Amino acid sequence: MDTDLLIIGAGPTGLFAAYYAGFRGLRVAVVDSLPELGGQITAMYPEKQILDVAGFPSIKGRDLVEGLVAQATTADPAYFLDRTATTLRHETSADGDERVVVGLDDGREISAGAVLITAGIGKFSPRPLPAGDGWLGRGLEFFVPSFAPYAGKDVVIVGGGDSAFDWALHLEPVARSVTLVHRRDAFRAHARTVEQVRASSVRIVTKAEVTAFRGNGHVEALDVTADGEQLTLPAQAVVAALGFIADLGPLQQWGIEVEKRHVVVNPAMRTSLERVFAAGDITEYAGKVRLIAVGFGEAATAVNNAAVAIDPSAHVFPGHSSEGS
């Protein structure tokens, strides 16, 4: 397949980049290793209320993705889902055009004038809960894609980051009880969310470690050591929110400059490879802040600069979308 811009990653940043590429008059294709659009939000947080997107005091994850997909549709992108970009090479076409050719794990190759990497944290897998070995699907889960299955249950959430506290806050009115267990008495979660959870009915157990699951076929309780004290907590559902192990996968073999599992970019969102740009959580530069709102801005910067790489007669600044044609 031949296209102008190939976007690797169909999360919020990639979807907005697809729309913006269409706004710039570019043909666009989007590849993602997940089977659905929306990236991590669709896979892990569709019910989460997102509070840091401009114009929305609060918007549910699935609603944000739905809006981004509708917006991207105006660019008529070609989607290649449930496929992984495995190889990347540069070549010159017969008429002298510089191209970037990306190979997919199904054998397909996509030739593009430029590539934009918006792959978030890359492929991700949840950090395991050692005591929960063998209990996955028997009461233990790593994500909360829907709140309904937790109605009327005693829920234990293990972790101290944003996901743990967000899920505690959202499950509190649904579950019979919610207990949050964390190994330290300090938390990585946003201070405002921590205070909201403290003010709720959620029980917080710190300096604690889950030592064993109890139950016959399905979890019924947890053994926890908390600051030297042995506790048994009722639990028909356990959420291990311990973060993720990120893997950039084949991308690391492309010769691209990587720092701390992130792709290094300059202010134009260019990577160390010609005609390859990056935007969103996967990028690294001085002062980088990993927010969805930042990713949107980086996507626009990347697409505008990629447009010039694709067509040197184009301008980086296309004018405002509100100005019309």
196 is in an annotated binding site: no
40 is in an annotated binding site: yes
φ/ψ of residue 251, rounded to 5? -50, -35
Spatial neighbors of 187 by CB under 8 A, at least 6 apart, are: 160, 161, 165, 194
Fold of 128-240: FAD/NAD(P)-binding domain (3.50.50)
Closest residue by Cα to residue 248 from 227, 259, 262, 238? 262
Residue 74 corresponds to which tokens in the numbers above? 């105006």
Closest residue by Cα to residue 34 from 60, 5, 8, 3? 8
Rounded Cα distance, 4 and 2, in Å: 7
Number of residues that this document lists for the chain = 325
Rounded Cα distance, 182 and 179, in Å: 10
283 is in an annotated binding site: no
Instruction: Name the DSSP class of 128.
Output: P
- The letter for the amino acid at 214 is R
322 is in an annotated binding site: yes
Cβ pair 219, 241 in contact under 8 A: no
85 is in an annotated binding site: yes
Which burial class, exposed, middle or buried, applies to 125 when counting CB atoms under 10 A from its CB (0-12, 13-18, 19+)? exposed
SS3 content of the chain, % helix, strand, coil (to 5): 25, 35, 40
Residue 261 corresponds to which tokens in the numbers above? 């599992």
Domain with CATH 3.50.50.60 in the chain: 2-124+244-323, 128-240
Q: What is the pLDDT, as a whole number, of residue 274?
A: 96
Which CATH code, of 3.90.660.20, 3.40.50.720, 3.50.50.60, 3.40.50.10070, is assigned to 2-124+244-323? 3.50.50.60
Cβ pair 33, 86 in contact under 8 A: no
Mean of per-residue pLDDT scores for the chain: 92
281 is in an annotated binding site: yes
Cα-only R_g, the chain: 22
Closest residue by Cα to residue 183 from 219, 155, 224, 140? 224
Q: Is the pLDDT of residue 325 over 60?
A: no
In 175-296, the DSSP E strands lie at 177-181, 203-205, 208-215, 219-226, 229-234, 237-240, 244-247, 258-259, 262-264, 276-278, 283-284
Q: Is the pLDDT of residue 24 over 90?
A: yes
pLDDT digits (tens, 9 = 90+) for 58-93: 998 899 999 999 999 999 999 999 999 999 999 997
Q: What average pLDDT does this structure show over 218-229?
A: 96
pLDDT digits (tens, 9 = 90+) for 86-111: 999 999 977 888 999 999 999 999 99
Closest residue by Cα to residue 97 from 2, 29, 218? 2
Tell me if the pTM is above 0.75: yes
**133 vs 245, which has greater pLDDT?**
133
Q: Is the pLDDT of residue 322 over 90?
A: no
pLDDT digits (tens, 9 = 90+) for 228-247: 999 999 999 999 999 877 77
95 is in an annotated binding site: no
71 is in an annotated binding site: no
- How far is the first Cα of the chain from the last one, in angstroms, to the nearest whole number? 30
Q: Is the pLDDT of residue 135 over 70?
A: yes
Q: What is the pLDDT, as a whole number, of residue 108?
A: 97
Q: Is the pLDDT of residue 124 over 70?
A: no
Cβ pair 273, 109 in contact under 8 A: no
List residues bridging with 141 in a β-sheet. Answer: 239
